[in-house]
Amino acid sequence: MDIEGRRVLITGASRGLGRTLAFAFAEGGAREVFAGARKAEDIEKLSSAAQAINAPITPIKLDVTSAEDIHAVAALGCIDILVNNAGVAGYGNPLQMNFESASAEMSVNYFGALRMARALAPAMVEQGQGMIVNVATAFAKVNLPLVGTYCASKAALLSLGQALRAYLGDKGVHVMTVMPTTIDTDMSSGADVPKMTKEFVAGEILRHIRAETIDPPIGAEAQGILDGLLNDPVAMEKMIGQIRV
């Protein structure tokens, strides 16, 4: 799908990858980019940054756990590309970590994306085209126990993407779940590992949107994980399973 002329909505665009994606879509020629943010101050900051460079970005109040916010989004008219980017990540041993943190991962990373798809897919189906892009991780395919419950929520998201594809694919709506590894954002600030830049990841996501890829790994490390899983899934799980608290 071309980016030019499209109406795009990105959840979790206050900072990190979502914010970078909003400006990348605008630069790529999108007609209108709705950038979801939860806080009034972030909406204001996005507004002034967009106005400063004349980018067609409209910040909107959007908490993906809020039925009211999502209802309002459905009234925006047909969105061509929905990017389910909003995400939260807890940390630690699933048996001991804060349960609310694990529950929030499912609410935002999984149910948030499902709610957004339910709100926006009907109009895409009606116009006979559209795209839903879910931002997961390569560790949705093989669990990284350091962030084990987070990976489980992203595995649920990846699986949901397959279900949505089954229902929407023959109606002109392409569903894609992208799978990066670590990106240099607030979410990974505590991780001392090599990180991809937000700009690189956003560029790759736009490239895959144009190519209408199915569930692409993003970056060489993610590609290596998928290759390793094809080659020897047990060995790969054992290796990644060493990375724990």
Instruction: Give the residue, chosen from 188, 203, 213, 229, that forms a contact with ligand NAP under the rule CB under 6 A.
Output: 188
**Nearest residue (CB) to ligand NAP, 88 versus 123:** 88
> What is the distance, to the nearest Å, from the Cα of residue 53 to the centroid of all Cα atoms in its chain?
25
In the bound complex, what is the minimum distance in angstroms from residue 7's beta carbon to ligand NAP? 19
In the bound complex, what is the minimum distance in angstroms from residue 149's beta carbon to ligand NAP? 12
**Nearest residue (CB) to ligand NAP, 7 versus 181:** 181
Stretch that binds ligand NAP, among 23-31, 62-70, 125-133, 207-215 (CB under 6 A): 62-70
Instruction: Give the residue, chosen from 3, 137, 158, 176, that forms a contact with ligand NAP under the rule CB under 6 A.
Output: 137
**Nearest residue (CB) to ligand NAP, 157 versus 173:** 157
The answer to the question of residue 16 lying near ligand NAP (CB under 6 A) is yes
Cα(79)–Cα(74) distance, integer angstroms:
9
Cα(241)–Cα(80) distance, integer angstroms:
39
Cα(66)–Cα(182) distance, integer angstroms:
28
Active site residue 150: yes
Interface mask toward ligand NAP for 142-181; x: CB under 6 A: --------------------------------------x-
Could you give phi then psi for residue 25, rounded to 5 degrees? -65, -40
Beta bridge partner(s), residue 92: 147
Could you give phi then psi for residue 98, rounded to 5 degrees? -55, 125
Give the binding site for ligand NAP (CB under 6 A).
11-12, 14-18, 36, 38-39, 62-65, 85-89, 108, 112, 135, 137, 180, 182-183, 185-188
Which residues are catalytic, by number? Answer: 150
